[in-house]
Chains A and B, each alone.
Chain A
Amino acid sequence: MSCGCKKNNVPKTYKIVSIKKETDQVQTFTFDISLGARPGQFVMVWLPGVDEVPMSVSMDDGKNLSITFFRVGDMTTELAKCKVGDLVGLRGPFGTNYSWEKGQHLILVAGGYGAAPMYFTANEAVKDGCTVDFVVGARSKDLLLYTDEIKKLENTTLHVATDDGSEGHKGYSTEVLEKILDKDASVFACGPEMMLKRISDICAEEEITCYLSLERYMKCGYGLCGNCCMDPLGIRVCKDGPVVSNDICRQLTEFGAYHRDELGRKHEL
């Protein structure tokens, strides 16, 4: 688990060393630094003069660190215009991470950009002799992420689900999950919250160990501002998450129901 007492939470800027276009709207930036991030943890990504947002780490192999992001809002639209050599600020890593026993069976479920941190998880877990079933879901084939990389991983089986049936199972990734459930496996999932909610229900019913990556609006990233607290426990997603056990998720009445904006106002999901 990460240490909450990291001594420096001031961002530093680093040059982008490579950019990979994953899909029309998704890019991966790589920096030639390591922050010692573990799978599931996030970094705060700062574009000077624009904004700073939390992003999960898509790889930190001790030499290079990558982030994979969707062009969705003002910040990521500006970030997407960056070129190799441009400066981007990073600080972290923050929050909890995924963990496993050596040789364990893991079922990973990724929706949308959730494929990035889940790929990082699989990549590290197979080094520990884990067997991985990796379910990747997207609206259609051209939006699938990391499937080529996943295919290259040892002891890993890729399962694809697309809403329109353009590749793999036609329907939701959660339907694939239900078919491949294994009582002795741990299920890890990252993606849209309604997908996570469904997975939470399935795993609770089947009494399967499950950890989910939660996402809430954040300011500081290290437990001070309180913006990412979830009702009714008041846990901070940045510190007590983003990777949260399903037992805790089941107690969060806010999970799958609403989130709060930068003013603390509730919005239904």
Chain B
Amino acid sequence: MMNLSQNILGIEFTNPTVLASGIWGVTASGWKCVAKNGAGAITTKSLWNKEHCGHPNPTIISNEHWSINAVGIPDAGPEKAKTEVASYMADRPAPLLANIVSDSKEGFGEIAQVVAELKPDAIEVNISCPNVEDELGKPFACSVTDAAGVTEEVKKHTGDIPVFVKLSPNVNNIGEIAKSVVGAGADGITAINTVGPGMAIDLKSRKPILSNRVGGVSGRAIKPVAIRCVADCYKAVGPDVPIIGTGGIYTGEDALEIMMAGASLVGVGTAIWERGEEVFKKICDEMSEWCDENGVKDLSEIIGSIHK
């Protein structure tokens, strides 16, 4: 079996799979359960600087091609984050990426400070959620200036904890945004957040199914978009900025494909529904097998290979 471990930004990852933010991510016991099932790292659901209510149900719907979600980023606020992150870090079965969100630059600074004190392995900044636009307006990830402004603010409070900024595919030029956040101090990029937003309608009631009417699209259907976005980001920021490639990753071959586009780590979320919590281990086994069959000795041979 091939060794899938990597040291990225000083963090030891036993394998490249990462639980994507928003999935199974509410409590420390949930994170631990996913880590024990083989995830190389865990990303929390977005942590707010204040209590924030989500949308009423239905919030998540899926078929074999896609999921659409408009959960609306519910969170109880910093006190819960402190308890849950501390509980996880006491065991730390895998590195923890604390995902943070807010509705203002200052709010991002506040939650970054709270979370940095909890010493997670890395912080991921969610500036790209597409299902709270009615409430919060266009995501920060849609503007070069806003994206860089939030990144700069977060970096003021995070010391030597690496910061990944999670980008939106729903922009004209994701490479330009990637370059702007890296210029503002981001240590890494996560690409991509959900696509769209999209909508699904129930025919008989003639109404949108999600209570929010629209939601971010994930799952198999978005993989080609994710691959292209990761390729664009890699091209824009170069090989020294690690990318967590996420979006429609279900199999080892999907993971290798997004790594060839430029990802060092691979986010997995929606695939848990179809492949179960064992999906992380399955993806790793499939990657190893492919690498063994194709004479690949180290993941560095794969990462960003389309650009070489």
Contact = CB atoms under 8 A, between A and B. Distances in A.
B24 A9 contact: no
A229 B26 contact: yes
A234 B202 contact: no
Contacts of B277: 223
A222 B204 contact: no
B59 A233 contact: no
Interface in B258-301: 269-270, 272-277
A264 B22 CA distance: 13
Given A10-B209, A226-B25, A51 B57 contact: yes
Contacts of B59: 219-220, 225
A226 B23 contact: yes
Interface stretch (B73-81, B148-156, B160-168, B241-249): B73-81
Given A48-B207, A52-B58, A265 B80 contact: yes
Interface string A1-22: 0001101111111100000000
10 contacts: A5-B276, A13-B202, A14-B204, A89-B209, A219-B54, A234-B27, A234-B33, A263-B75, A263-B80, A264-B75
Interface residues of A, number: 43
B136 interface: no
Interface string B112-128: 00000000000000000
B131 interface: no
Contact of A223 (B27, B64, B211, B273): B273
Contacts of A223: 24, 272-273, 277
A224 B23 contact: yes
Contact of B273 (A224, A262, A263, A265): A224
B59 to A, nearest CB: 5
B62 A234 contact: no
A53 B57 contact: yes
Contacts of A49: 207
Contact of B74 (A12, A87, A220, A264): A264
Given A226-B30, A265-B76, A89 B53 contact: no
A178 interface: no
Contact of A225 (B60, B200, B204, B274): B60
Interface in A68-125: 87, 89, 91
A152 to B, nearest CB: 35
A225 B75 contact: no
A172 interface: no
A44 B61 CA distance: 11
Nearest to B23: A224
B215 to A, nearest CB: 12
Interface residues of B, number: 50
Nearest to A230: B29
A235 interface: yes
A263 to B, nearest CB: 4
B67 A12 contact: no
Given A10-B61, A10-B209, A87 B80 contact: no
Nearest to A46: B58
B205 A89 contact: yes
A221 B80 CA distance: 23
Interface of B: 22-34, 45, 51-54, 56-64, 67, 71, 74-77, 80, 84, 200, 202, 204-205, 207, 209, 211, 269-270, 272-277
A267 to B, nearest CB: 11
A232 B32 CA distance: 9
Contact of A12 (B22, B202, B207): B202
Nearest to B274: A5
Given A10-B200, A219-B71, A264-B75, A225 B57 contact: no
B112 to A, nearest CB: 20
Contacts of B84: 264
A236 B31 CA distance: 12
A246 interface: no
Contact of A227 (B26, B33, B53, B80): B26
Contacts of A263: 51-54, 74-77, 80
B61 to A, nearest CB: 5
A234 B34 contact: yes
A10 B57 contact: no
Given A231-B27, A264-B76, 9 more contacts: A4-B274, A9-B61, A10-B200, A48-B202, A48-B207, A219-B59, A225-B24, A226-B26, A226-B45
Contact of A4 (B24, B64, B80, B276): B276
Contact of B204 (A4, A13, A232): A13
B87 to A, nearest CB: 9
A170 interface: no
Interface centre among A44, A226, A229, A264 (most CB of B within 10 A): A226
A11 B62 CA distance: 9
Nearest to A15: B204
Given A234-B29, A234-B32, A235-B33, A89 B64 contact: no
Given A52-B57, A233-B29, A236-B24, A225 B71 contact: yes
Contact of A224 (B31, B64, B270): B270
Nearest to A50: B56
